[in-house]
C-alpha cells in the first residue's frame, strides 16, 4: 500500500455528560449545532479542507447515530479508495475484549489500523470541538521544528488558565513544562487537544504506556509528561482563530447565540473553507404570512408561522401560528405548536412544545431550559 504522509485519528467516543439531556441518546460529536451541522462536521471538514484523506473515527458511547451519519464519509469528500473514513469501535481479541480505557488506550488499540497506512505523522483530534483549522499549517510547523510532538495551543485569559492543560515554552516555542489544570499557572498557552506525533515516537510511547498499570492511558495526563521527561522535542503550534469546546449547556447556548451576530466571531460561511455536513435533502424553509423573524438563522425544511426572535432554528423545525421563540435553539425537527412560548431554551431533536405551553424563562438569572430528543412538553406540564 502506498505510504501516507499523515493520517488523522478522531476521538469521538466521549459522552459529553455535562451536556445532559442533549447527550442522553447520542455521543457529543453527534450533537446538532449551527442549524444544520453536527459537532463532528467541524473536525471532519477540517480534515477534508486540509487534504487529509484518511481518518479513523474512534467511537464508543452510543455510536449508532454517529456511525450512520458518517456513513462512507462521502458527504465530506472523504470516501477515498486508499484510506477514507474508518469507524473504529472497541473490539475483542483472542484474550477477550474491553472498552477503551482512555484517549491513549484508544489509539494504542488501533495501532494496527495506523500501521496499515504506514504514515510518517499521526494527527490526533477530538471530535467534539468547534473550530476551523488547516492542519497542514500545523504539520509544516511540526516539520520546521523537527519536533517529535506538536501540540496546538491558544492563548486564554490568565484567570481562566487553571481550567486547561497549560504549556510553558522557551523562546523557540519548545515546551519545557506541562501542567494539567495548574492552580498557579505560569503561562497562558492552553492545549486544544490537537496533536501531531511522529508515528514512531507515538507508537513507542503507547506501547510502553500500555504496560504501565499506574497510568490512566490519557494523552494529557500520561503521554505528554512521559515524553517531556524523556527529553523529546515537544513544540507548540499557536492557533489564533475561534475554538470552542461546548462542554456545558450554557456554553452551547452562548456559542449558538454568537452565530446570530451580523459578523459572528465564528462565521460558518466561508467558501474557501466550507463546513460540510451530511444533511437530509429538505425543501427550502417557509416563512408564513403572519410570521415575524428577526436576528435568527433558519435551516432548510422548517416552517415558521409565528414569531422568532434571536434564535437558531435548525432544519425541519416548526413554529406554529401565534407561538413565540426567543433567545432559543431549536434542534432539527423540534416543534413549537400554536400559541406556545419558548424563552432561553434548547429544544432537543424532534421534541415538541405543545400548543399553549410555556417553556423556559426570560429571566437571565434562571438556567437555560433544556429538553432532550423526542421529549414532549404539555401545556401546564413541567420540563
User: Is residue 268 at the binding interface for another protein, with CB under 8 A as the rule?
Assistant: yes
Closest CB to another protein among residues 62, 310: 310
Instruction: Select the span of 10-18, 213-221, 279-287, 360-368 touching another protein (CB under 8 A).
Output: 279-287
User: Is residue 328 at the binding interface for another protein, with CB under 8 A as the rule?
Assistant: no
Contacts of 280 (CB under 8 A, 6+ apart): 301, 315, 316
**Alpha-carbon dihedral of residues 205, 206, 211, 213, nearest 10 degrees?**
100
To the nearest whole angstrom, how small is the minimum distance from the Cβ of residue 263 to another protein? 11
Closest CB to another protein among residues 139, 298: 298
User: Is residue 288 at the binding interface for another protein, with CB under 8 A as the rule?
Assistant: yes
Could you tell me if 244 and 131 are in contact, meaning their C-beta atoms sit under 8 angstroms apart? yes
Q: Give the x-and-dash track for 39-78 against another protein (CB under 8 A).
A: -----------------------------------xx---
Could you tell me if 226 and 197 are in contact, meaning their C-beta atoms sit under 8 angstroms apart? no
Binder among 238, 295, 350, 355 for another protein (CB under 8 A): 295
Could you tell me if 323 and 307 are in contact, meaning their C-beta atoms sit under 8 angstroms apart? yes
Could you tell me if 169 and 42 are in contact, meaning their C-beta atoms sit under 8 angstroms apart? no
User: Is residue 298 at the binding interface for another protein, with CB under 8 A as the rule?
Assistant: yes
User: Is residue 263 at the binding interface for another protein, with CB under 8 A as the rule?
Assistant: no
Could you tell me if 26 and 40 are in contact, meaning their C-beta atoms sit under 8 angstroms apart? no
Instruction: Select the span of 184-192, 200-208, 312-320, 350-358 touching another protein (CB under 8 A).
Output: 312-320
Instruction: Select the span of 31-39, 123-131, 175-183, 247-255 touching another protein (CB under 8 A).
Output: 31-39
Q: How many CA atoms lie within 13 A of 275 on its CB side?
A: 21
User: Is residue 332 at the binding interface for another protein, with CB under 8 A as the rule?
Assistant: no
Q: How many CA atoms lie within 13 A of 298 on its CB side?
A: 25
Q: Please tell me the distance from the alpha carbon of residue 319 to that of residue 341, in angstroms, as a whole number.
A: 10
User: Is residue 321 at the binding interface for another protein, with CB under 8 A as the rule?
Assistant: no
Binder among 164, 276, 359, 375 for another protein (CB under 8 A): 276
Closest CB to another protein among residues 36, 354: 36
User: Is residue 272 at the binding interface for another protein, with CB under 8 A as the rule?
Assistant: no
Identify the residue whose cell numbers are 503550534. Answer: 237
List the beta bridge partners of residue 125: 10
Q: Which of 90, 76, 99 is nearest to 8 (CA)?
A: 76
Q: Please tell me the distance from the alpha carbon of residue 350 to that of residue 105, in angstroms, as a whole number.
A: 36
Closest CB to another protein among residues 224, 315: 315
Tell me which residues touch another protein (CB under 8 A).
34-36, 74-75, 260, 262, 268-269, 274-277, 279-300, 312-315
Amino acid at each position: 500500500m502506498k505510504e501516507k504522509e499523515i493520517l488523522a485519528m478522531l476521538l469521538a467516543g466521549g459522552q459529553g455528560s455535562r451536556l445532559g439531556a442533549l447527550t442522553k441518546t447520542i455521543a457529543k460529536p453527534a450533537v446538532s449545532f449551527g442549524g444544520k451541522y453536527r459537532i463532528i462536521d467541524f473536525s471532519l471538514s477540517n480534515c477534508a479542507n486540509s487534504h487529509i484523506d484518511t481518518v479513523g473515527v474512534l467511537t464508543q458511547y452510543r455510536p449508532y447515530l454517529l456511525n450512520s451519519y458518517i456513513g462512507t464519509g462521502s458527504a465530506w469528500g472523504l470516501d477515498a479508495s486508499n484510506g477514507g473514513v474508518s469507524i473504529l469501535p472497541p473490539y475483542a481479541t483472542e484474550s477477550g475484549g474491553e472498552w477503551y480505557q482512555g484517549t491513549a488506550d484508544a489509539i494504542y488499540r488501533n495501532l494496527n489500523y495506523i500501521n496499515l497506512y504506514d504514515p510518517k505523522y499521526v494527527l490526533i483530534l477530538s471530535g467534539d470541538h468547534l473550530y476551523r483549522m488547516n492542519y497542514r499549517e500545523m504539520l509544516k510547523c511540526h516539520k520546521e521544528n523537527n519536533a517529535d510532538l506538536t501540540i496546538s495551543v491558544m492563548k486564554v485569559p490568565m484567570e481562566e488558565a487553571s481550567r486547561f492543560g497549560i504549556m510553558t515554552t522557551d523562546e523557540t516555542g519548545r515546551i519545557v513544562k506541562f501542567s494539567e489544570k495548574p492552580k498557579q499557572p505560569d503561562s497562558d498557552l492552553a492545549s486544544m487537544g490537537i496533536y501531531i506525533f511522529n508515528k514512531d515516537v507515538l507508537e513507542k510511547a503507547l506501547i510502553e504506556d500500555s504496560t504501565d498499570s499506574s497510568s490512566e492511558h490519557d494523552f494529557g495526563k500520561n503521554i505528554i509528561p512521559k515524553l517531556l521527561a524523556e527529553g523529546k522535542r515537544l513544540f507548540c503550534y499557536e492557533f489564533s482563530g475561534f475554538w470552542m469546546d461546548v462542554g456545558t449547556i450554557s456554553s452551547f447556548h452562548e456559542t449558538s447565540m454568537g452565530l446570530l451576530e451580523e459578523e459572528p466571531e465564528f462565521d460558518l460561511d466561508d467558501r474557501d473553507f466550507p463546513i460540510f455536513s451530511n444533511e437530509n435533502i429538505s425543501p427550502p424553509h417557509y416563512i408564513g404570512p403572519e410570521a415575524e423573524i428577526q436576528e435568527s438563522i433558519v435551516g432548510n425544511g422548517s416552517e415558521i408561522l409565528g414569531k422568532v426572535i434571536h434564535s437558531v432554528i435548525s432544519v425541519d423545525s416548526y413554529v406554529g401560528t401565534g407561538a413565540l421563540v426567543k433567545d432559543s435553539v431549536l434542534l432539527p425537527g423540534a416543534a413549537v405548536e400554536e400559541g406556545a412560548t419558548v424563552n432561553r431554551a434548547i429544544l432537543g431533536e424532534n421534541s415538541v412544545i405543545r400548543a399553549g405551553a410555556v417553556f423556559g424563562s426570560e429571566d437571565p438569572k434562571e438556567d437555560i431550559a433544556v429538553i432532550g430528543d423526542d421529549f414532549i412538553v404539555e401545556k401546564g406540564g413541567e420540563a
